[in-house]
Amino acid sequence: MVVSREKKAPHQVVIVGGGFGGLYAAKALANANVDVTLIDKRNFHLFQPLLYQVATGTLSPADISAPLRSVFSKSKNTKVLLGEVNVIDPKTQQVILGDEIIPYDTLVIATGANHSYFGKDNWKEFAPGLKTVEDAIEMRRRIFSAFEAAEKETDPEKRRAFLTFVIVGGGPTGVELAGAIAELAYQTLKEDFRNIDTSEARILLLQGGDRILPHIAPVLSKAAAESLAKLGVVIHTQTRVTNIENEIVTFKQGDELTSIASKTILWAAGVQGSALGKVLAERTDVECDFSGRVIVEPDLTIKGYKNIFVIGDLANFSHQNGKPLPGVAPVAKQQGEYVGKLIQLRLQRHTLPEFHYTDVGSLAMIGQNLAVVDLGFIKLTGFLAWVFWLVIHIYFLIEFDTKLVVVIQWAWNYITRNRRSRLITGKEAFLEPQTVNNSNNSQIPEKKQPVKL
């Protein structure tokens, strides 16, 4: 028997991407009189703002993830599909998922952004970025392996390279990574090693512009920079990275060119819209901006297609104040909710005024008892900002999961500076390669030798 889905529910909404945009769009449509198909490459939604805490050993990936199927377990009109959409055909109204063709009446594209190395893709290998759980695990592996390798290293110069951490990019992710690594080196790990003094670690934060956290008020940038400096982070502003090779980063500050040996170079600089933006641009008249984001209309649809929405980090929405809204979770979330609402209203022959982003403020964690919060009407720094950051994140995590115990654990870990999740897992490449000797022909020195220290 061939089941025709069109007869069962009048309107097919296909949402590509289960990040904040896609998740909140689907939530807004849960149990509405439409069929929703939510497609994602992964089987979980990721609370990305806390991913840096996975990378620095405070949280486990599952602590900041929600399985998409369990989120929509009770929404019987919502179907979750796992896979990657590479092809969209706006003319025939369908997306292709592997060998499956999925027709839509309304399409919501929310596939977000990826790292951008500004054309220098060969830097990627030496300076990993932070977008996925795997990225975070890899970053964690590199950070903790660097301390381990330093503990073993006898050559002072090499040891220094192991204890040098360079973070490229002074946005929220770069600032939060730098702060967390500084806390690791100067506080958490201080007692744990016997040969090295972890407080000899150098943490460099390189920023292209003239201040870190350029999206918040200058007074808060300044406060953040001061807090980071107090933690021990060395900030270089107006600094452009000119080359990254294996273990060496070169940067230019004014006319001065500096090369630094570092085994742990982390990328928190550029992002670009995901590939589906370009696919869309090729098949419609829509345009992408220089970083691959799709220019959207005031109602978040694309030019010429009232039934295709692009939201979140992939969208360039410049109708509010002339410049694009930032690629942050609250924008994606509000856009998702807007689209979900608009789709339902349209089916009742109503509509909504154009999308308007309600700025909920910006905040960045720097370290224990240190954060900056910019709510526009109020600006906080230091301990008060830190408490505010904590409360806001607890609030969002509860909304996100409702598993209060997870939130308590998280807050507890955070407050007690627990770094329990500092497992070095996955490939072991970063540690000195161990020669696997066959025990029969291995060379054993005849005499007892002193331990190398």
Query: To the nearest whole angstrom, how small is the minimum distance from the Cβ of residue 427 to its own copies?
Result: 10
Q: Enumerate residues 285-314 that contact its own copies by CB under 8 A.
A: none
**Buried b or exposed e, range 320-346, using 16+ CB within 10 angstroms:** eeeebbebbbbbbbbbbbbbbbbbbeb
Q: Could you give the angle at the alpha carbon of 159 between the alpha carbons of 192 and 206, nearest 5°?
A: 95
| # residues contacting its own copies (CB under 8 A) | 91
Which of residues 8 and 356 has its CB atom nearest to its own copies in the complex?
8
Quick check: 168 and 178 in contact, CB under 8 A? no
Query: To the nearest whole angstrom, how small is the minimum distance from the Cβ of residue 423 to its own copies?
Result: 5
Which of residues 130 and 366 has its CB atom nearest to its own copies in the complex?
130
Q: Enumerate residues 102-121 that contact its own copies by CB under 8 A.
A: 102-103
Indicate which single residue of 158, 202, 222, 283 sits in contact with its own copies (rule: CB under 8 A).
283
Q: Could you give the angle at the alpha carbon of 51 between the alpha carbons of 202 and 227, nearest 5°?
A: 40
Tell whether residue 408 is a contact of its own copies (CB under 8 A): yes
Indicate which single residue of 99, 155, 157, 399 sits in contact with its own copies (rule: CB under 8 A).
99
Which of residues 246 and 416 has its CB atom nearest to its own copies in the complex?
416
Query: To the nearest whole angstrom, how small is the minimum distance from the Cβ of residue 97 to its own copies?
Result: 8
- Options 111-119, 330-338, 392-400, 415-423: segment touching its own copies (CB under 8 A): 415-423
Query: To the nearest whole angstrom, how small is the minimum distance from the Cβ of residue 176 to its own copies?
Result: 19
d(CA 289, CA 361) in angstroms, rounded, equals 25
Indicate which single residue of 118, 193, 383, 395 sits in contact with its own copies (rule: CB under 8 A).
193
Which of residues 196 and 206 has its CB atom nearest to its own copies in the complex?
196
Query: To the nearest whole angstrom, how small is the minimum distance from the Cβ of residue 448 to its own copies?
Result: 5
Tell whether residue 384 is a contact of its own copies (CB under 8 A): no
d(CA 30, CA 26) in angstroms, rounded, equals 6
- Options 115-123, 161-169, 323-331, 404-412: segment touching its own copies (CB under 8 A): 404-412
Quick check: 251 and 206 in contact, CB under 8 A? yes
Tell whether residue 260 is a contact of its own copies (CB under 8 A): no
Tell whether residue 197 is a contact of its own copies (CB under 8 A): no
Tell whether residue 426 is a contact of its own copies (CB under 8 A): yes
**Residues near 370 by beta carbon (within 8 Å), at least 6 away in sequence:** 179, 227, 230, 231, 382, 383, 385, 386
d(CA 22, CA 43) in angstroms, rounded, equals 13
CA distances from 44 to 253, 283, 311 (A): 41, 29, 19
Query: To the nearest whole angstrom, how small is the minimum distance from the Cβ of residue 436 to its own copies?
Result: 6
Whether residue 148 lies in the annotated active site: no
Name the CA radius of gyration of the chain, rounded: 24
Kindly name the residue from 138, 176, 183, 297 that is annotated as catalytic: 176
Q: Enumerate residues 55-84 that contact its own copies by CB under 8 A.
A: 60-63, 65-67, 69-70, 73-74, 76, 79-84
Torsion angles phi and psi, residue 147, rounded to 5: -65, -40
d(CA 318, CA 277) in angstroms, rounded, equals 16
Walk across the sheet containing 256-261 and list its strands.
239-245, 248-253, 256-261
Which of residues 104 and 251 has its CB atom nearest to its own copies in the complex?
104
Q: Enumerate residues 18-47 that contact its own copies by CB under 8 A.
A: 42-44
Tokens 């979330």 -> residue: 333
Q: Enumerate residues 146-165 that contact its own copies by CB under 8 A.
A: 148, 151-152
Walk across the sheet containing 164-168 and list its strands.
233-236, 202-206, 164-168, 264-267
d(CA 66, CA 51) in angstroms, rounded, equals 13
SS3 241: strand
What are the catalytic residues? 176
